[in-house]
Structure 1
Amino acid sequence: MENKKIQIFDTTLRDGEQVPGCKLNTKEKIIISKKLEDLGVDIIEAGFPTSSPGDYKSVQEICKSVSKTTIVCALSRAVEKDIEIAAQALQYANRPRIHTGIGTSNYHILYKFNSTPHKIIERAIHAVKYAKKFVEDVEFYAEDAGRTENEFLAKICENVIKYGATVINIPDTTGYCLPKEYGEKIRFLKENVKGIHKIILSTHCHNDLGLATANSLSGIINGAQQVECTINGIGERAGNTSLEEIVMIIKQNSHLNLFTKINTKLISSTSYLVSKCTGMNVQANKAIVGINAFSHSSGIHQDGVLKKRETYESINPEDVGINKSSIILTARSGRSALSYRYKKLGYFLNKNSLDLVYSIFLEYADRKKEITDIELKIILKKANINNNFLHKTNNNTTNNRRINVV
């Protein structure tokens, strides 16, 4: 079976920036957009131009800064003025896309718009038709599609396809769906919407229940061809689908017969850049990019990884731009890890020496979260075997020391 390409639509600069306390200036957005282009994303959603003069300027400058091959997208509501401003902001883009849409669930129709399903369809059609006057590539979002009845969702999708939508976004706006439900929704649309084969179907999942990545995965398994996501999973409330997670799931699972054009070796540096610019720290246990993602402190795990990395790591850290796994010394660490860390410092301990040093190490480790290289040297001195060090001199090493049998 031929592998199917999944387009990566990055919305770090739009949905990602909607995190409270996160504000990017135009210069920072340009820096990030260029990094996203290097990373290999297919579409950059540069902002929501009508929201502020600053966002308008950022979208405009990003269009000037990125290469001719990258699609630059601007968000709008299903409002003529919004669409006009988005089009103006995109005027310098070689491949512009307007992303317009409206809420389709009963919650939105009744309470947000005080409207009717029929009027919502009319507004959706008008928005797409109006956006087509400015750009050829029009993406329509059915906001809160996760809580929208499938039959109505199919009807609105069929209508916007008829009037020129090139991409249809199926957002799980409140992170409501379970993966099976979301996948079935995508499958229902693929099987019941006339003209669906003409357009790209996109996922846009939020992480309110921690299911954003799982829902996006279920979506593409069931026929979606585009994933909307953010670096580090940042975004409204609990965040969005994490780019690094969905990309590495696809990369690591060849049986899915899917691929992206992301250069995964740039994931770590991109994550760091976004975290630095936004001021949003990455949680330590965050998959792929968290500081603990390739760190080991349990003695059993450390021993396994030192013998063969794959024992406790399904991802090679080098694949995401990290040089190597980290062996962290704590009270849970074993002799293998301790010996390994001493070797990194140039000290080679035999069994008797290691046993003696290890007992002292545990006394320190029980009092501290982590043992540093400085403390490892202190522990050696406390073991009172410092006089047994032999200076090792070979072609490349001038300060290695070996601990003799005690």
Structure 2
Amino acid sequence: MSDKIQIFDTTLRDGEQVPGCGLNKKEKIIITEALEDLGVDVIEAGFPISSPGDFESVQAIAATVKNATVCGLSRAVQKDIECAAEALKKAKRPRIHTGLGTSDQHVMTKLKITREEVLERAKACVSYAKKFVEDVEFYAEDAGRTDNEFLAKVIQVAVNAGATVVNIPDTTGYCLPEEYGQKIKYLVENVNGIDRVTISTHCHNDLGLSTANSIAGIQNGARQIECTINGVGERAGNTSLEEVVMILRKHNWLNFDTNINTKQLYPISRLVSETMNMPVQANKAIVGSNAFAHSSGIHQDGVIKNRDNYEIIDPAEVGVDKSSIILTARSGRAALNFRLGQIGVVLSKDELEETYQRFLSMADDINVVNDPDLKELVGVYAHINL
């Protein structure tokens, strides 16, 4: 039996912190409903105390969600926790997500307190949140740069206080995968009772390692991944939901699984991109416009003969109609003949060769050759009806 990995989506909280990508309540509800259809386990709806609008959005999301856990973020401050609890009152499965920084960088220059005070505040925030909800997640901000021995002490305090989930964020995207994986392993081996709670990853992409770090965390004992659609988020973004889900699916020897309906990945990617006015880069894994597009002649020939030659994912698995054979000056005869066949054109060997030479000249001039251009190419043959 596969270990179930909880997918915690923070598109509506961490993802929305991208400058210029704020969402109104109506837009958040639309995305919330899509996230439920996708099958995420936890929806982090927002940071209720941050603004009246965010409070109202979390309230509305809490009342809308039918199956997933709805989570509200707070600092390790009583007023924050009370505000989150109030916003989550109508949630069927409410969770308060509270915590504070634990790295020396955060403790000494941001919080300006002692390590002993960090331990006291960790205990206090979890204990107070437990007065309102049973499900309390504790985050150790900047855990990636926190030495493991002190991090274990903080997490021990949170577990003892009743946390149900402990979040180990690589807030600045600093860790290497092996380093982050060993951090999770250290907690598994050195925190009493941690087997009774869920360890969560929350990785940022400042060095392009958020997905790799999240998977390393899972391999070493974490059972929840915090992520966003399209990897949206502050600075370089968060762990990409579609990437970690498909890694776990394709590497089934890891023996992990999720509740995600992968056929909804591409549709929700488009929805989030359009709603947040945040374009998806063409070469983005899984959901980019070029993820299943082939323009090299060698690749095109291989894909036409057998898709598995150059695609490890069936496009239909993630909600994409089909692979694309893009005709450029790098394309070969096989690709040209394939695309001609798609518009109902059958050429003899000699006709194909003559057409291919004219095609190369055209492709050099216009870069990408589309169906109307193909029809122009073969229009010289009287026997072809288009």
Partner of 1:387: 382
SS in 2 for 1:204: strand
Partner of 1:43: 42
Structure 1 segment 338-357 matched on structure 2, within 5 A: 338-357=336-355
Deviation at 1:206, TM superposition (A): 0.2
Deviation at 1:70, TM superposition (A): 1.1
Q: 1:256 aligns with which of 247, 254, 257?
A: 254
Q: 2:329 aligns with which of 322, 328, 331?
A: 331
Distance 1:388 1:272 in 2: 42
- 1:288-310 deviation digits (Å, cap 9, x = unpaired): 00000000000000000000000
Partner of 2:191: 193
SS in 2 for 1:41: coil
Deviation at 1:387, TM superposition (A): 1.4
Partner of 1:167: 165
Distance 2:215 2:296 in 1: 31
Residues 1:285 and 2:283 aligned together: yes
One-letter code of the match for 2:121? R
SS in 2 for 1:366: helix
SS in 2 for 1:348: coil
- 1:369-391 deviation digits (Å, cap 9, x = unpaired): 2111111111223xx3x2132x5
SS in 1 for 2:339: helix
Partner of 1:56: 55
Partner of 1:402: none
Distance 1:123 1:96 in 2: 22
One-letter code of the match for 1:121? L
Partner of 1:29: 28
One-letter code of the match for 1:209? L
Partner of 1:17: 16
> Greater Rg, structure 1 or structure 2?
1
Distance 2:324 2:56 in 1: 42
- 1:52-76 deviation digits (Å, cap 9, x = unpaired): 1110010000111110x21000000
Partner of 2:124: 126
Count how many residue pairs are aligned between Structure 1 and Structure 2: 386
Distance 1:266 1:258 in 2: 20
Deviation at 1:323, TM superposition (A): 1.4
Q: Which TM-score applies when normalising by structure 2?
A: 0.99
One-letter code of the match for 2:186? F
SS in 2 for 1:255: helix
Q: 1:302 aligns with which of 300, 303, 313?
A: 300
Structure 2 residues not aligned, in runs of 5+:
none
SS in 2 for 1:98: strand
Partner of 2:89: 91
One-letter code of the match for 1:97? R
One-letter code of the match for 2:269? S
Q: 2:111 aligns with which of 103, 110, 113?
A: 113
Partner of 1:375: 373
Residues 1:322 and 2:320 aligned together: yes
Distance 2:348 2:306 in 1: 22
Distance 2:163 2:193 in 1: 11
Distance 2:119 2:82 in 1: 20
- 1:90-130 deviation digits (Å, cap 9, x = unpaired): 01101000000000000000000111100011011110011
Q: Structure 1 stretch 178-187 or stretch 371-380: which is displaced more?
A: 371-380
C-alpha RMSD over aligned residues: 0.8
Give 4+ residue runs of structure 1 displaced > 6 Å after superposition. none
- 1:296-353 deviation digits (Å, cap 9, x = unpaired): 0000000000000000001110100111100001110111111111111110112111
Q: Which TM-score applies when normalising by structure 1?
A: 0.94
Partner of 1:246: 244
One-letter code of the match for 2:230? N
SS in 1 for 2:260: coil
Distance 2:367 2:231 in 1: 28
Distance 1:96 1:333 in 2: 54
